[in-house]
Chain A
Amino acid sequence: MSDELIAVSLLWLFVFVYAMAASIDFGAGFWSLIYLYRKENNMTQIANRYLSPSWEVTNVFIVLVVIGTVSFFPGATAVLGTVLLWPFSIGLLLLTLRSAFLVFSHAAEKKYARALSVISGATGVFLPMLLILVLPITYGGMIGTTDGRDQLLWGSLLSSASTYAYLAFAGLSTLFLSSLLLADYSHVSEDWRAYQVYRKDAIWLGPFAFLAAIFVIVTMARDAPWMYDNLQNNKGWILSSGVLYVLGYLALFTPRKAGSPAAGRPRLAVVATVFQYLLAATGYGEAHLPYIVYPSVTIQSGFTDESTFHALFVSYLVGFVVLTPGFWLFWRMFMRDKKYLRQK
């Protein structure tokens, strides 16, 4: 594997990790809002119990994605930074309101807490939709160049069917993934009522998220034929992703085990679904190569200096080795410890 390929694979992996974690994070905020006004339920608590310790960690990954892009592909940064100024600035403002009000809502008095939760839950769900716009923008045809200066062609962005396909995909995936994870989380917490509710949400959202993904591929044929062709030549990833979707979805319907009051195996469903997205992302990423921004920036033309790359690579290895015990402790404390999960 060439250095460029290693770098872009790592970066794409970070994007994937952030996409998953952020979908769950923003989605959980949304569910905590949806169930805020229902009487006598634990759905909101479950969502908050997940969110409280995890949002800060999730937030680190968006910085990791941005810094990863800057440090691995400075050539792409100059173009993307220029054209994404407005979409990402709006995103930053939403992210700020969302995080701050999420924190404030837990510290504020009950009567204000609700309003704050509403704002943070509602802003959260728009964020994935805003961030995913970077994908259709790199299709080509949406960045105009005058006098050697790049600019985003808003008209093309807003009139493209792909844009809306991605918006739908981002929004629905966010809700699907988060309901699925919260189903698993309440299952581990043995909160059967919350489990049933989140399981039901996942069941009706799953097919829509899947349709949106197909819509993305269909519109790609017209808006980015170069990428569609690449995808056609590499069908395996997408097809196996589809198989995993079916598997994960069916896992929600397995007959209930002895001693368990509810049907379905949510842990299996979560794992299968995460792999479903991972396989799809791999196929998608492969089809996008060698371009980062079509047709002006490739992974070769935008690549950082060799010696910088090697130093960065070492810092990644050391960094993740050092942090692994921290992640392990975090997981044990908040995702597995029954004392934390089952508190009332």
Chain B
Amino acid sequence: MPETITIGKSELRKDAWKKVTGAARYVADIPLRDVYYGAIVRSSVHYGHLKSIDTQTAEQVAGVHKVVTAADVPGLPVFGALVHDQPVLAVDTIHHWGQPVAIVIADTKEIAAQAAQLVLVTVEPILPILDPVEAVELNASKLHADGNLLAQFEIKDGDVELGFAEADVILEETFSLPLVSPAYLETETSVAQWNSDGSLTVWVSSQHPFVDQAEIAAALDIPAEKVRVKSGVIGGAFGGKEDSSISIMASLAAWVVQGTVKLVNSRQESFWAHPKRHPAKIYLKLGAKNDGTFIALKAKAFVDTGAFASYGPAVGIILTETLAGSYHVPNIELDTLVVYTNGPLAGAMRGFGSPQSHFAIESMVDMVAHQLGLSAIEVRKKNILREGDQLFTGVIVNQSANSLPLALSHAENILREFEMIEAAPGKVAGSGMALVMQSMGLGAKVPDDSTHQMIWMPDGKVDLYLGAPDMGQGLIMTAEQIAAEALELPFESVSTVDLDTWNSPNGNVTCASRMTYMVGNALVDAAEQLKSQMLVQASRMMNRPLDTLSYKSGNVITSDGGKIPVSEIISRAADDGIEIQSKATFSFPYPDETTPQNLPIGMPHVLFCFGAQIARVEVDPELGKVDITHLTAIHDVGRVISRKGVEGQIEGGMAMGLGYALFENMNLKANGQWVDSFTEYLIPTFNDMPLNFRNIILEIPEESGPYGAKGIGEVTVPPTAPAIANAVYNAIGVRATALPLSPEDLAKL
């Protein structure tokens, strides 16, 4: 690969300096004067008719300014990313436990919390529907006006019955996936400030500040220009912060009291009322020939979106598109139902449907291999997608599929290595693997433009105005590296201005494993524009024809070998009142010629990330306790932009996958309430991570990506749990079909 300035290196994240000194301002940390505190009154039933809200007693408490209810919403009372079904504050019906009903606004958080207890909410409870299969039964009560089936995706390719008729072996199984929480450490927070000119300034911890802006404006019935949304430092998001609930509530409260209101969800509220990963039941039937070739796949998936749609339909799409994993199966019939229940709302979360589908298909692939007496590697080698293969959606897979055979040959060696290691006394060891295919982008026919801006400053440094927030994953560093490379400047010369919807272009939502790709492509384009604008100025000032000037590493080079620092040109231009700035938009490409047009909106996805993970476990056969001793991740990133950044994404993603495999489960407790604290909802700690952890990063350039790069954010999560489940099977011969793999179940099975 050619020598680079910064691409592929491990730069030091500039935001890290503030984060290690405590100076970074997350929304709850922003110092503001005269702040009121809000406390949200929430429902304590799963389902019911909201009869009345009595705010009188609470409003008489000294220090309480107002109790806001749905009646105070001047504009649109509902919001939602894909369907407007989520009330800002409950109206008539309670749809889930913990749904916001009212907001108490008081001088201190203590007073607000006390007064919230005094708001009298009368609800006539109704028997809730908490099972997605039950929810679509004919006689189930309708949770929303259009019924309980939110979306359905049926896809057929080939003739599945004919395929099964030709199969030598057919296996069927139903897999169950739990409700899990993104569990970012910073809970949802927003501060809204009413300004005397009738505008609002709203600080958010959000993946989609421009959506917040639009949804706040709609709820308050004011023009979007009156709402200025600023991004605080974000304490993790993983998809869960694509929901405007808290920012709309803070804005409403600020609007009503004409002041500044701070809303911070407690951990419990975060569990109750913010989007999580969809629980699902996935039935799979896979037919194969004796040599391991897959011949038919049938699937039916029930995906529980909970009380409101959020991103449910889009999650259903990716779940469906990844049900066959990284394999070519000629005959396919898939049916995915996305269903409303009275559960907590599920929406976007890292993997977006693909962790669910991969647990099913990657377990099934091992089951078939076992049945046929083939190795996990052999059966996968037979069936992996190859460059030029047509997916069941009609999409042709590009060169990215070349990473699959590569990943498999690494995996083969690693499995062999793992199998040589002896188990600790009293334990049984086993190794297992899984492949992964994760889509990038929002899907065809979904508008997906991302705009970003750069300004060349008179000192020769460059300011980036990114239109989409960094949720902690390192988008800013990646963007700065790409901009620096494109402008032939050192990494240190590029910095990023805080996102503010009044100053920043709209970069769209930070999501879908496509930020490096979208932002990078836009910045490469913007950098070219910036350079040519600067050269035009240079030509004017130096009175030399444009084609005699060129740009090299921060200098203008003249045809006779002269060299003038760019800072001179820019500062002289500034004196003349000319700003050297450029803005570029990148639109996710769905070329008409190659994108099948006969599918629902959001389908198909056309670019993919592939990878493999291998786990070695030691199981205590008596207690069913699983220790993960080794994990190896093999992921193709197209091209590494930031080495440590990529490694960090993989390590963090695997930890999340490990939690999904072993502990995480936001289930109903015996008392009828959801698990809602870190005491009961366990996320991996230091000690849960394997001591032996390895990253193998593949670089098969994505031709449409900036410097060949593509996404890594989500692809790291889906293979971990099935790799672990397959390893457990290979250790103790027990096939778990539900996550998390609880010791009780493994010992009992």
Are A and B co-members of a single complex? Answer: no
